[in-house]
Structures are given as structure tokens and as C-alpha cells.
Amino acid sequence: MDLMSRRNMLLRGGDSTDWKALFVSMVDGVFADTELVLPNDVTSINSYCFRATNLTKITIPTSVTLIGNYGLYIPNLVVVFESTTPVPVNYDSSFDNATVTIYVPDEAVADYKASTYYRNVIDKIHPISDLNT
């Protein structure tokens, strides 16, 4: 399977040259770097996209409008959302609810906590200003 076909199975978005760098660094679910900042043209994270990878931190740009079932189901994952609007998730199992830590823009904390999409991880949502403290 070529690089772009694999990318299209996992993520949806434009044809940024950043895709090649992302997937060249990934072999069988193992990234060269454990922290990932998705390109700004990603629009969705498909089901099972990053499940069972070695990622420890992922930054989700404002362009992402949907996260699929088990899309970010990785133990102890730190998820940084750049969007002030809660990003819809397909199922309660998009994250490992027991161990995920979620950071959102400070002004959006209340909105994420009030969103039904995040009802099982309310206590895991923190302001982005707390990220490096």
C-alpha cells in the first residue's frame, strides 16, 4: 500500500506535504517521535487511527471536526486541542477514558466539560495554560 493510501485510511484532509513526513516516520504503529502535531489540513481522525501506537502526546488542530471510535485510544495519552469549540467524537471510546489527559484553550474548558462528547472525561479536561506547569 502506498503512503497516501495508508494516510487516507487513517486521516482525512488535504494533500499537505507534511503527510509524507508523518507516515515515513511511522512503521507498524511506531513513530520515530512520541509527540505528534497534526498538520492544519487534517479534518478528521478516523476510527482506530492511532490506537496501539507509541504516541504520548498529540496536538489536534482547529481543522479537525470529528474523531472516530478508538481514534485516540492510547493509554496515558496527552491530547491538546487547539479548537475552542468541542470537537465531536463518535463514541465514548474515542479515548482511553481512564488515563487520557486533555488540554483545551483556557476559554473553552467549560464548553468542553459541558459537551456530551466529553461526559466520561470531564475530570481529565484542563486549561492549556496548565500544560507545562
Domain membership of residue 14 (yes or no) is: yes
Categorize the per-residue pLDDT at 5 as very low, low, confident or very high, splitting at 50, 70 and 90.
very low
64, pLDDT greater than 60? yes
Number of domains into which the chain is organized: 1
pLDDT confidence tier of residue 30, bands split at 50, 70 and 90: low
Residue 47 within any structural domain of the chain:
yes
Domain coverage including residue 18: 3-24+34-130
Residue 113 covered by a domain: yes
Sort strands 78-81 and 101-104 into parallel, antiparallel or unpaired.
Answer: parallel
CATH, residue 14: 3.80.10.10
Domain annotation covers residue 29 = no
pLDDT score for 7: 47
Q: What is the share, in percent, of the chain residues with pLDDT greater than 70? A: 73
Q: Does any domain span residue 95?
A: yes
Q: Convert the pLDDT of each residue in 101-127 to its tens digit.
A: 999 999 999 999 999 999 989 999 999
Report yes or no on 50 lying in a domain.
Answer: yes
CA 59, 101, 97, 123 dihedral sign is negative
